[in-house]
Amino acid sequence: MALLNILILLLAVSSAAVRADEDPFIGVNIGTDLSDMPHPTQVVALLKAQQIRHVRLYNTDRGMLVALANTGIQVVVSVPNEQLLGIGQSNSTAANWVSKNIVAHYPATNITGICVGSEVLTALPNAAPVLVNAMRFIQSALVASDLDRQIKVSTPLPSSLLLDPFPPSQAFFNHSWNPVLVPMLNLLQSTGSYFMLNIYPYYDYILSNGVIPLDYALFKPLPPNKEAVDSNTLVHYSNVFDATVDATYFAMASLNFTNIPIIVTESGWPSKGDSNEPDATLENANTYNSNLIRHVLNKTGTPKHPGVAVSTYIYELYNEDTKPGPLSEKNWGLFDANGDPVYILHLTGAGAVLANDTTNQTYCTAKDGADPKMLQAALDWACGVGKVDCSPLQQGKPCYEPDNVIAHSTYAFDTYYHQMGKSPEACDFNGVAAITTTDPSHGSCMFPGSLGRNGSSVNITAPSMNSTSASSSYRIYSNGALRSILTVIRVLICSVILPVERTEMFRH
């Protein structure tokens, strides 16, 4: 009888109508537990420079939503766990939340999904009874605003809800949560939404007490005799990620849901840990995330669902130095607060995402033959409104010589370019600047790009997207007060305003 049930279940999963017509994507989560959180325009500049087109926010921060407007970047926002009880008990509270945080920003900000809480069943179990109500109320508010077809509602769940996850064909959810999971899955199915899943092979590996090999957790290639085999399906698994995704599909099928697609809302690997966390290393983090990105974008799918997209959001964009818990909790980021990569991903030929994160360093310099007057105006803007620290250009400082507008502009342009995350739009300056791979540093004058490779860089808060006024520290670095005054007048008359573009154990 048990064998018959397994065969029926396998047949159901094999005939599942999980959508395979969508291209997979890689996105990033953006946490904010940083002592020096970059300005939203800096965050967006970094996203654009790295060609990241999908992001997940843990809230609905207005500054971020405004900065993301008109970028085309697809945004998933979140109802924080602490707001769940209020929203889950009041339809009007949910409607007000949608009006304030969604309708007010859409469609300029391309919001495509709403995470109602995060890992609520394990992180905030007392809110579990109202979770599905909160999702329904949010969905109803979207319907009332005619946004339900554009914006999907779901809730991220941890893979720890799976019991007996291997072999995947025998996986099932913790039955104690069925009173929540069944109506939730009904809602996801009826609205055409997706199952949001957080997968952390790092923790699976640590908690397995040696049962899970490190290479199996890291996506490293394995010979067939080292792969894990599902004894019921005879399907081979070469990594934890795929096995967990397929186990989730089987667990949903055991509850008679076979057509809900999965999207992975969190996955990653820490790059540093305490002395008792020896596998939280730069190399392991690089290996996992590089392999994950390639695996998702090559449209392989999973062994049981080949070709079915498993779009994934990497945890996370920045290292969060104020995150509580062990050292590893602070070191999941791809970048530090300055926008410098924590490690250089092994992504040669892997596509456009994070393509700028390579060993080929780029710089922004003044164009040869550019109009000196335009260069001076751009220099003045960069050292003023652009908030570039131009003090190294003062007499007696490392970058004063050579004392000419081309050399000084190049320093200011490159500094601004790097503080804006090396976005191509940040190296234009009305056509007088260009990107190059030649390091313009000279003598003791080291440019930000050169410093960044050694782990040091400038950290300047970007001005507002609409800022046109100079800061109190505005200075003009050129010979002669008269030339300075004339330049300011020229700037005002010509209106040269340059565009500013600028777990489960502890976290989850």
Can 119 be counted among the known catalytic residues?
Answer: yes
Positive or negative, the CA dihedral 468, 473, 476, 481 is positive
Rg (CA), the chain: 26
Structure tokens that stand for 396 in this block: 């007696």
- Please state the separation of Cα 51 from the chain's center in Å: 11
Buried b (16+ CB within 10 A) or exposed e, 210-242: eebeeebbbbeebeeeeebebebbebebbbbbb
Beta bridge partners of 278: none
| CA–CA distance, 122 with 70 (Å, rounded to integer) | 36
Q: For tokens 């992001």, what's the residue? A: 55
- Please state the separation of Cα 255 from the chain's center in Å: 32
For 431-449, the three-class secondary structure string (H helix, E strand, C coil) is CCEEEECCCCCECCECCHH
The amino acid that residue 9 corresponds to is L
| CA–CA distance, 272 with 433 (Å, rounded to integer) | 38
Catalytic residue chosen out of the listed positions 22, 82, 119, 316 = 119
Catalytic residue chosen out of the listed positions 22, 82, 227, 266 = 266
Structure tokens that stand for 305 in this block: 């669902």
Residue 229: φ, ψ to 5°: -120, 130
Can 501 be counted among the known catalytic residues?
Answer: no
Please name the residues in contact with 310: beta carbons below 8 A apart, sequence gap of 6 or more.
24, 245, 262, 263, 264, 296, 301, 302
| CA–CA distance, 378 with 365 (Å, rounded to integer) | 12
Note whether 219 and 241 are within 8 A (CB). Answer: yes
Cα–Cα nearest to 267, from 235, 245, 238: 245
| CA–CA distance, 34 with 48 (Å, rounded to integer) | 21
Classified as helix, coil or strand, 48 is helix
- Dump the DSSP string for 93-141: HHHHHHIIIIITTTTTS-EEEEEESSSHHHH-GGGHHHHHHHHHHHHHH
Structure tokens that stand for 496 in this block: 């040269």
Catalytic residues, by residue number, are 119, 266
